[in-house]
Amino acid sequence: MAVRVRLKISREGRSLEVIALVNSDYEGDSPQLMIPLRIARELGLWPPPQGSIERVFETAGGPLRVWVIRGAARVKNSLWAEPLFHDSRNLFIFFHY
């Protein structure tokens, strides 16, 4: 069963509320948020800003080019006042073209 939560993503005076699919297949070393290109554009993350890292991940559907940006936004659950991650510098945001 899929679990979805409402998140508020904020960056440089822009805020978006989105419905996020929670994936618990693994646990990473740091918090990670994968967003579609449309959301990246709305947050001012496309074209990729200075300091973003381009990576290519091998997937079952073939190679996927992804940009990784560390600490680019603050994320919180829309129902709670507190941010989900106290140190947003450790939040990694991924998006693909």
| pLDDT at residue 82, as a whole number | 62
| Alpha-carbon span 37 to 32, nearest angstrom | 16
The whole-number average pLDDT for the span 31-54 is: 93
3-state per-residue secondary structure call for the chain: CCEEEEEEEEECCEEEEEEEEECCCCCCCCCEEEECHHHHHHCCCCCCCCCCEEEEEEECCEEEEEEEEECCCEEEECCCCCCCCCCHHHCEEEEEC
pTM over 0.85: no
Is the bond preceding 47 in cis, omega lying within 30 degrees of 0?
yes
Query: 77-91, pLDDT tens digit by residue?
Result: 877 666 655 566 667
Going along the chain from its start, the domains and CATH numbers come out as 3-96 (2.40.70)
